[in-house]
A = this chain, B = another copy of it.
């Protein structure tokens, strides 16, 4: 079986998914849509697919699935639209910045029984998958604590900050999902500290650039997330799971594994410093998993609910910083 795809949104991340779909033997990129015709045409030229409008894609019964890479504020509408049109949907995170909106959207998905997968790409990184597998195989015993260090090489542009929903909903959300993925039990409460240490302007825009978060589950399992928008040594992405029998940890990634030694010491190169380079394999695995779910008629994961719960943790963290207290996830889920 070959799954026919349409790509909605031909920007940076759209290109990544276009490549992943085209390279997959069980999929075909049939159409692309973008508000900027040139962007769509470039994809079409490279992969030999048609440029279409959203409406045309919706009407084209030969399209089995859509990949939504449009701006965040269009995600929920598009999900609902294509769910109603009976298509499988892969949507980049987040579904929306409003929990209420996400909840409404997921009701439509549920009602239409549409397949929806949300783009938490890191679950598909081979190294994090390796840790998860070790955990599932019992290598660490009962999971007790998940420690995540996640630092960007540098802050995003200021105009991005203003529409990102803030660091918790934009950056930490990946770590919230990773914590949930590794904990194997739902976090129920959140404490967060937040500061502006990297760039004052970020503070003036109402956001933070350095945050730390504690999570706990009903049974007391713990997670820590440490974020900074600056790491001069590259894109620092570490996950560590402690359990009753041991610990499993994923190491950082470099472009080349060499070491130069001299009188000042032994030096290895800095880390990969761009999320697309760091997560190249994760993006490919992610789309492959979506396709595999469709062809095997199994549920796609991470699901819309995973998207909702990561957002809830972000909202709880925002509230925790504001109120200076531990916030229950139930408070923000309404």
Contacts and interface: CB of A to CB of B under 8 A. Distances in A.
Given A134-B260, A270-B264, A191 B251 contact: no
Nearest to A209: B144
B216 A214 contact: no
Interface string A207-221: 000101011100011
Given A139-B262, A253-B257, A263-B246, A212 B210 contact: no
A244 B193 CA distance: 19
A250 B126 CA distance: 22
Interface in A287-332: 323-326
Interface string A253-266: 10111111111111
How many monomers of this chain does the complex have? 4
A285 interface: no
A256 B130 contact: yes
Nearest to A195: B220
A277 to B, nearest CB: 12
Contacts of A84: none
A186 to B, nearest CB: 15
A193 B210 contact: no
A228 interface: yes
A149 B147 contact: yes
A16 interface: no
B232 A260 contact: no
A42 interface: no
B193 A214 contact: yes
Contacts of A242: 151, 228, 231
A248 interface: yes
A233 interface: yes
A324 B316 CA distance: 14
A269 interface: yes
A246 B260 CA distance: 7
A224 interface: yes
Interface in A235-253: 236, 242, 244-253
A127 interface: yes
A261 B247 contact: yes
A268 interface: yes
Contacts of A248: 258-261
Interface in A17-67: none
B222 A195 contact: yes
A241 B256 CA distance: 16
Given A147-B226, A242-B231, A325-B325, A267 B266 contact: yes
The 7 closest A-B pairs by CB, nearest first: A246-B262, A195-B220, A233-B261, A325-B325, A130-B256, A251-B257, A324-B326
11 contacts: A144-B210, A195-B216, A224-B224, A231-B242, A232-B244, A232-B261, A247-B262, A248-B261, A252-B257, A265-B267, A267-B267
